[in-house]
Amino acid sequence: MNKVEKKRQREQHVVEEMIQLYCRKNHSKEERQGRKMCPVCQELSDYAKLRSQKCPFMEQKTFCANCKVHCYKPEKREQICQVMRFSGPRMILYHPFFAVWHLICSKKEKRNL
């Protein structure tokens, strides 16, 4: 496996973890129906994976969120930013690197205000 592929897999894995954490704390057991995450979060996770798979800039960038090309649909970006805001501070401990996304999401918000 080459370097870019590894990076891609790592990104996908961490995003999934963050969505799972978010779902565990914000959505009910009933919504998850015994699965890792509820259908809404699962869809977001699949979407994030797909974007990452199709990303042509994987080599240069550190993470999807600091990419110049915003390939996320506005509604999905809103969703993923929500997940990042929630899971980001909790993930810093485990994945310091991924605090970046969280930072970018909060910056963007301030600009919009």
Contact residues for Zn ion (CB under 5 A)? 23, 27, 38, 41
Compare residues 36 and 70 and give the one whose CB is closer to Zn ion: 36
Shortest Å, Cβ 90 to Zn ion: 16
Q: In this complex, which beta carbon is closest to Zn ion, that of residue 27 or of residue 77?
A: 27
Q: Measured on CA atoms in the order 79, 105, 73, 49, is the torsion positive or negative?
A: negative
What three-state secondary structure class fits 48? helix
Read off the DSSP letter of residue 36: S
Extract the tokens encoding 39: 């259908």
Closest CA to 105 of 83, 81, 79, 80: 81
To the nearest whole angstrom, how small is the minimum distance from the Cβ of residue 27 to Zn ion? Answer: 3
Q: How far is the CB of 68 from Zn ion (least distance, A)?
A: 29
Q: How far is the CB of 9 from Zn ion (least distance, A)?
A: 23
Residue 37 or 104 having the CB closest to Zn ion: 37
Tell me whether residue 23 or residue 64 sits nearer to Zn ion (CB atom).
Answer: 23
Q: What own/partner pairs with CB < 8 Å and gap ≥ 24 does 29-38 have?
A: none
